Structure formats: structure tokens, C-alpha cells
Copies of this chain bind each other. A is one copy, B any other.
Amino acid sequence: MKKLKIAVIGGGSSYTPELIEGFIKRWKELPISEIHLVDIEEGRDKLEIIGKLAERMMEKAGINCNINYNLDRREALTGADFVITQLRVGRLEARIKDERIPLSYGLIGQETNGAGGLFKAFRTIPVIFDIIKDIEKYCPDAWLVNFTNPAGIITEAVFRHTDFRKFVGLCNVPIGMHRGLADILKVDSESLEIDFAGLNHMVFGLNFYLDGEKINKRAIEALAGPDSHISMQNIMAEPWDPVFTKAMDVMVCPYLRYYYKSKDMLEKDLVKLAEGNVRAEEVKRLEESLFKLYKDPDLDEKPVELEQRGGAYYSDAACELINSIYNDKKTIMTVNTQNRGAIANIPYDSAVEISSLVTRSGVKPISMGNLPVQANGIVQELKSFEIMATDAAVSGDYGKAMLAMVMNPLVTSDDLAKKLLDEMLEAHKEYLPQFN
């Protein structure tokens, strides 16, 4: 049986123990002989902590898997079957800027939404393209599984501006929505299925099945009910008005709050800004305490504290995706890939997030027809923004960057857009060679 090699770029991430746990759980199906964690110089310390924890976890599980960790990306990639990218260009310091600078203009800045998401895309896309070039050189048959945010814009960039196709973008939001609905319905999540379609962080649940039986009415009523407080741990969990939920008649993504509750979201964020406690700062403290735990030489499993970090289900998503590709399992998963008509009213060649069969030869979206009108408008608006964002990120064109900024629904004026653009280009210039 072929031995598998997994390369993890950004291996020093606090999420890595989830991945390791996920691979351990699937050991019988996924015979991994080597996991290579790679990171950059600035992440050397974290990488070592994670690497050792991973070794202890494997040892405890009684699994004979070679854990490598170093700074040599080429070595990591050589011979890899799957490459996982979970990197953060500019680390949390950059994310803090992504959140604080927009807020200082009275605008929401967030990891994937607003000006913050745009700049994360600007910083990340060139790095992903570099990694793709290395993959084509050192492991041309490998699949690239990307977790890095903003996952939708990155997928758009890869399909729009490269010829690389063994790419799958992954996000834990659909899984969170799925588990959340199962909880509300008080059913086993295994027995519930949802047809997902839309964009990353703007995905909609279109149909709902319990043991295969369509239960749309029941699901929507439950979502409109008093217990329907679904959200991601890292989004403030404002409930929707039940009239809205019923009229939408589809399940909405938590991130819709940034657009349809923008006033409330902004107000809460401004309080956090004043308290020096924007999400990135929270995460930073959380990570510090996580790494303290990880360092403990007696720790040999994923600590429960990791779940507060907000990345719940990443393990399931990534490991199951790899498992399903490797074993041609045809699991239905929600992934970011090229549309090609699967959502009929979204541009044919665009990236979408959609329920798909995961097979050895790639992901095959399930045809979803047209998005209903109540979802189509916001999806199209964000898709146009994403396309402009990738064009700006790849070309480094200032005018396109300005357009992307103005086209983002969370930016409320062209004047602010320009000031914000200039300040953020300056603040992140170290990571934005394309704009110099």
C-alpha cells in the first residue's frame, strides 16, 4: 500500500493539533507515513512546540508516523501527496491592523469581511501563488487543500489567475451551520444533510434532509424558533428576527450579520476597539495560552481549550477531505471550487462554496440550479467584489484596489475608502510587494 506524505504549510499554527488528531482518528483508512510541518523563521518557536506535541500525540496513539518540522518548504513539498495551507502572512500583528485600522474609520474590519478581509487577500494571494509554483515543481501530483482565509477570494484567485486545478478551498462555517441545525432540531448530525450553495462566508443552506426526507419547512421553523441561536464561536451571536428567518426560507450563514446587522456589529466592534480587545487581540491572548499548554511535555492530545479558538470542525473538514480524495469515498462535503454552472445564476468561471462529491479525481459540485432571489443579490455583489479583489491583488493596481474597497458593502464612502486604502497599504507594505 502506498505510503502517504502530508505537507502542512503554516505547520506552527495553533490549529495543527486538530489536524493531527484528525489523522489519528482516520489512521486505518489513511496510512500516512509522514507529516511534514513547515513554517517561516518568525514561527520557528511555535513550530517546535507544535512539532513535539504532534510527536507525543502520535506516540500516545501508538502510530508509527514520521513527524518532520523545519523551515525548508522545498523539503516539505518534495514527494507530498497532499499540501495543507494554513498560513497567516504577517501573523496576528497584521490581523490586528486589519481589524483596528478600519474600525478607526468607523468601518468593520474583519478577517474575511470588509477592508480587513481585502488586505488579508492582498497579502496572502502572492504567497499562495508561490506555493503553487513550488508544488508544480516538487510535487506536481499533490492536492492543495487551503484553509487560509479569505478562502473564497483565494479560490477565486487560483481559478482566475493560475492554471493550477488540484486545489480545494475549505472552511468550517458550513460544518458549523450543519451541526448547529442538528442541535436545534435535536437530531443526530449524521442523519441531517443540507444542500449548501453560495460563496465562502456567504453560503446558504437551500434544502434540508433528515434521513433523506426533505424537511425544509421544519428546518426553517426551527431556525426561526427561540432556540435557534446558531453562530460561530468567533462571531457575536446576534439572533435574527424570526420574520426575517421565515421569509428568507433558506438557512443563512453567520457572516450575513456583517451585512444585514452591520449597524449592530459595528457598534460592538467599536466597543472592543476601545477596550483594546478586538477579535485578533483576543485570539492572540488565546494563542499564547494555548501554546503554554502545548509546551507541557505531559500533554499528548489535543487540549479542549482549542475549541474556544473558533476553528471547531477544521479537523473533520480537512482530514475527511483528504480521506475522501485518497479513498475515493464520494463523501458530500461543502468546498470552495469553480462553479461551472453548478449555481446557474453565478458567473460560470467563478469560485463558489457548494456541496460537492469528493472523489479521487477532485470535487464534483452537485447542481443547485439558480440561487433564490433573496440570496442572489448579496452573493452577486460579493462575487463582483471578490473578482475585483483578486484582480487588484494580482496586478497590484491601485485603482482596482480602490474599486474593490468601494465595492465592499461594509465600506460606506469613497473618501473613507481612499484614506483607509492608503493607510493600510502603508501599514502592510512589507507584505505587499505587488503594490510597490
Chain A residues close to B by CB (< 8 Å): 106, 195, 207, 209, 211-214, 240-241, 243-244, 246-248, 260-264, 328, 330, 332, 340-345, 347-348, 357, 359-361, 364-370, 373-374, 376-378, 380-385, 387-388, 397-400, 402-403, 406-407, 409, 412-418
Contacts and interface: CB of A to CB of B under 8 A. Distances in A.
A263 B413 contact: yes
Given A243-B398, A378-B381, A367 B370 contact: no
Nearest to A247: B399
A382 B388 contact: no
Contact of A212 (B106, B247, B359): B359
Which 4 pairs between the two chains have the least Cβ-Cβ distance?
Answer: A212-B360, A377-B384, A212-B328, A341-B344
Given A212-B328, A360-B213, A381-B381, A240 B374 contact: no
B382 A377 contact: yes
12 contacts: A207-B361, A209-B361, A214-B361, A241-B402, A241-B415, A243-B398, A247-B399, A264-B413, A330-B330, A332-B357, A341-B368, A377-B385
Contacts of A348: 344, 369-370
Contacts of A328: 209, 211-212
A247 B209 contact: no
Contacts of A364: 195, 366-367
Between A365, A407, A418, the greatest number of chain B beta carbons within 10 A of the residue's beta carbon is seen for: A407
Contacts of A365: 366-367
A249 B214 CA distance: 39
Contacts of A384: 373-374, 376-378, 380
Contacts of A397: 247
